[in-house]
Amino acid sequence: MNTTTNNATAAATTEAAAVEANTVAITVKDGDIVTAKVAKIKNHPQPGVLVVIEGNPMAFLPNGCIAGKNNEEKAARRAQLIANPGTEIQVSIMGAPTVELVKGKMVGRIKVSEQRAVIAAEKTARAAKAAERNAAIEAAVASLVPGSVVVGNVKGVASKDSDRNPGEKYVYGAFVQVAPGVTGLLHMKEIAGGRRALDAMVEAGQVEVEILSAKVENGEPRVQLSQKSVGARAFFDQYPEGSTVKGKIVKTGEVVDNLHGRVIELSSGDKVFLADDDAHVKSESALARGNSTRVVITTDIVGGMVRVHRRGL
């Protein structure tokens, strides 16, 4: 073996020994969020701050990776860190740490970002808040048993752009809050009395409604409500199907939905509908406006009114 070869072998052996003697321990990896302590300022070759991560080589926090929404905030934050050495901050490891042989000594290089750690913390906080909200919504919706009746707060009308009249709104119901964080739709077809009744309940701010259905879809509550059924329940509690009652005729002619007949007001103030086909009288004058008559209660609803008949009377 010649002298040159011997020298090269000796140098390689010496370098290997140096590497083995100066092994650098690195316990962090790319993406880790760890606690670091501010050590000192670093201006060359890249400006930033040196920080200490326990059990690892000194890490470098570039100025651009200091927490802040803009350069002014980052500069203020840098001044704060430099003025308070030893301050603990959360940082994110940027890229895989490396170990290099520099002048016969192994040197570990770790780059970190405070801004990434802040963003990760905010993301985690948002996820936790969303999970908490979803759990609360799930519990609230689960408490809304279909068929149950609750008092809800009217939040406003439900409307959309009108297809028939451009520039105008088509009102199709009301939004009613029936539990904390849970708002359901009270469709117009489920409101006894139509638009006039809707305006009245919006002004009142509250309405008694029945839960028709309640579920959660894609994290959002989907609740369908009915006000008409609540009124019907109260009505049928007082006037069961098949019972005979007496009332005063307050309107005749075309009453609702192109149906002709009479509106009869009962002693309770409730109004019922008697169609011409169900009148069963020898003389129409017997059912003139202002007269009283007996009728039989049915379970049919027409235009928000219970339908009645006079068959068999």
Reading the block at residue 310, the tokens are 């006079």
Per-residue model confidence as pLDDT tens digits over 136-168:
999 999 999 999 999 999 999 999 988 888 888
Q: Which of 268, 271, 252 is nearest to 197 (CA)?
A: 271
Sequence ranges of the domains in the chain = 21-120, 149-232, 240-309
Quickly name the fold that domain 240-309 has.
Answer: OB fold (Dihydrolipoamide Acetyltransferase, E2P) (2.40.50)
User: Is 21-120 CATH 2.40.50.140?
Assistant: yes
Average pLDDT, rounded, for the chain: 88
* pLDDT band, very low/low/confident/very high, at 19 (cuts 50, 70, 90): very low
Backbone region of residue 89 per phi and psi (left: phi > 0; alpha: psi in -120 to 50; beta: other values) = beta
CATH fold label, 149-232: OB fold (Dihydrolipoamide Acetyltransferase, E2P) (2.40.50)
Instruction: List, for residues 32-71, the tens digit of each pLDDT value.
Output: 999 999 998 887 788 999 999 999 999 999 999 999 999 9
Check whether 11 has a pLDDT greater than 60. no
Evaluate whether 21-120 and 240-309 have a shared fold: yes
* Section 103-113 average pLDDT: 91
User: If you search the block for the tokens 């009453």, which residue do you land on?
Assistant: 255
